[in-house]
Amino acid sequence: MQWFDAIVERMQDFLKSSMYYGTTMDIYDYVEIIIIAFLVYYILVWVKATRAWLLLRGLIVICVFLLLAFLMDMSTIMWLAQNVLSFAVIALLVVLQPELRHALENLGRRNFLPSMIFADSGDRSQEIFSEKTINEIVKACTEMGKARTGALIVIEQKESLKEYERTGIDVDAIVSSQLLINIFEHNTPLHDGAVIIRGNRVTSATCYLPLSDNLDLSKELGTRHRAGVGISEVTDSLTVIVSEETGKISAASSGQLYRNLSADQLRERLQAMLGNKGRDEKTKVKRKWIGRRRVRG
């Protein structure tokens, strides 16, 4: 049982060194430990919600195996591991590229820096959709639900959807229930794909959206629902989906799907989004005004 004695000896050395460093640490060392602990926690939370969780479990198994090989002094296995490690890191980055991109996008959405530094150059104050637009969207979705006409409507918020608008056909028309119903009517040229709404106008139709790879979504859901959840995962948009099979209305936001909404529930979600936009615009105007006062001062 030499390998067991080696493990015990190494653990004793680790405890002794830990006690020694504990007496020499200052307040900055404790702050650093707390920061690293938070980083590790949030990385694990992020990994848990993605496909990387399966890869992490596989990596844990490999690390345990390499630890045992190190403790048992298996030199050949350790030599192979050291030579393969550099390639393994690059391969891991390639495999996790979509998850890493999504994590960086989420980090960019957080307002760690003042919005004046990265503010959009264009004036978006006129792009807040009105109560009339909400009523038209709700009316159209209700009518399409009764007729079991499938629909996919993406409503832009703060993040631009121009990247997805380019995949469709320009419409640039005021939102109305008649327009939306005609777009999604069966056998019409524009019925296949998503409609994108910015402010009070339909900007594009037949747009292609990214599909969600969330394994927790019900197997009953088709491509339309997965596309609605997918665009809400990569942007801050609100997506309204009408099922062609059941006529039920759903909404997707921040990667979450809310199913079987009534007309009143859909209106509440749209009004909540309208309220958030209004508050954001007021805050933006206030910051601009304060910034000008500082410059003049």
**Spatial distance between the Cα atoms of 231 and 19, rounded to a whole number of angstroms:** 51
Question: Is residue 281 over pLDDT 70?
Answer: no
Among the ranges given (13-22, 65-74, 252-261, 282-291), the one the predictor scored with the smallest mean pLDDT? 282-291
**How does DSSP assign 47-78, residue by residue?**
HHTSTHHHHHHHHHHHHHHHHHHHHTT-HHHH
Out of 56-65, 222-231, 255-264, pick the least confident. 56-65
pLDDT digits (tens, 9 = 90+) for 160-185: 888 888 889 999 899 999 999 999 99
Asked if pLDDT for residue 241 goes beyond 90, the answer is yes
How much is the mean pLDDT over the chain? 78
Helix (H, G, I), strand (E, B) or coil at 157: coil
* Rg of the Cα atoms in the chain: 26
Residue 287 · residue 116 · CB < 8 Å: yes
Q: Is the pLDDT of residue 142 over 90?
A: yes
Give the separation between CA 207 and CA 193, rounded to whole angstroms: 5
**pLDDT confidence bin for 239, thresholds 50/70/90:** very high
- Kindly indicate the confidence band of residue 28, based on its pLDDT and cuts at 50, 70 and 90: confident
pLDDT tens digits along 57-103: 777 888 888 888 887 878 888 788 777 777 777 877 777 776 677 66
Q: Who contacts 56 (Cβ-Cβ below 8 Å, separation ≥6)? A: 47
Report the percentage of the chain scoring pLDDT > 90.
Answer: 24
209 in Cβ contact with 169 (< 8 Å): no
Residue 255: pLDDT band with limits 50, 70, 90: confident
Is 0.85 topped by the overall pTM? no
Q: Note the pLDDT of residue 233.
A: 86
Superfamily name with CATH number, domain 126-287: DNA integrity scanning protein, DisA, N-terminal domain (3.40.1700.10)
pLDDT at 119: 47
Q: How far apart are CA 137 and CA 263, in angstroms?
A: 10
SS (HEC) of 86-148: HHHHHHHHHHCHHHHHHHHHHHHHCCCCCCCCCCCCCCCHHHCCCHHHHHHHHHHHHHHHHHC
35-54 pLDDT tens trace: 888 888 877 776 666 666 66
pLDDT of 286 > 80? The answer is no
* pLDDT value for 125: 42
The share of the chain scoring above pLDDT 70, in percent, equals: 71
Give the per-residue pLDDT at 111.
Answer: 56
Please report the DSSP string for 184-221 in residue order: HSTT-TT-SSEEEEETTEEEEEEE--PPP--TTS-TT-
Give the C-alpha separation, 125 to 210, whole Å: 28
Per domain, the residue ranges of the chain are 2-108, 126-287
8 Å CB contact between 243 and 151? no
